[in-house]
Amino acid sequence: MISQIEEAIKRRIAEAGLPYKPTVATYAGEFDDGLEAVIRSFPAIWVVFGNDGPGKPLASNRRVWRFPAMFVVIVAARNLRSEASGRKGDASKIGTYAMLADVRRLLINEDLGLEIAELSPGRTRTLVNARFKGNGVSAYATEWHTSYDVVLGELAPQEPPMLERIGLNIHLVPDDGVADAQDIVELQGENP
């Protein structure tokens, strides 16, 4: 259920048609490599699972358990003018305050079509507010809370495998049944 919730949050944001067209992805430690590498993807919105539990049984037979879960949505922007413009935005660039407002508008009270409690916002904290190589850089992380139920004895649904590559066999005429050439096409991005 955790990966389904994370993917549904990303999909909700990506499909919203935000005019500033942010990078929307799962957070994978982008800030660990330093600001220089990550600011090229701004404006960006990342989603990551924060934590869950402890679970509580919903009935005396202790077969159904409810787990509270927290996800984190990170918004990040840059602006050549100043660090304050990175937060507030200007006529040409979105700021992180407006991005936070958009994310709240998109996620508050949403169940994302899943069997979860509606999302509710938690704390927002500063990740970065600084000048870096002529850019005002701003990033904030907001907690999003929900809960989901686990029925003991049921296996988690398996996600379909991702299509990563396609192999092509090329046969010339007349065909002798043996491929005359082969090619592998590597697919990039996320597949549905």
Per-residue pLDDT band for 156 (boundaries 50, 70, 90) equals low
Whose tokens are 């495998």? That residue is 161
Contact between residue 37 and residue 124 where contact means Cβ atoms under 8 Å apart: no
Q: Give percent of the chain with pLDDT exceeding 70.
A: 81
Confidence (pTM): 0.73
| Structure confidence at residue 163 as a pLDDT band (50, 70, 90) | low
111 band by pLDDT with thresholds 50, 70 and 90 = very high
Phi and psi at 88, nearest 5°, equal -90, -20
Between residues 136 and 155, the one the model is more confident about: 136
Q: What is the pLDDT of residues 83-107, one digit of tens each?
A: 765 667 777 788 899 999 999 999 9
Residue 164 backbone class (left: φ over 0; alpha: ψ -120 to 50; beta: rest): alpha
| Helix/strand/coil (H/E/C) assignment for every residue in the chain | CHHHHHHHHHHHHHCCCCCCCCEEEECCCHHHHCHHHHHHHCCEEEEEEEEECCCEECCCCCCEEEEEEEEEEEEEEEECCCHHHHHHCCCCCCCHHHHHHHHHHHHCCCCCCCCECCCEEEEEEEEEEEEECCEEEEEEEEEEEEEEEEECCCCCCCCCCCCCEEEEEECCCCCCCCCCEEEEEECCCCCC
90 or 55, which is more confident: 55
All structural domains of the chain: 2-160 (3.30.2000.10)
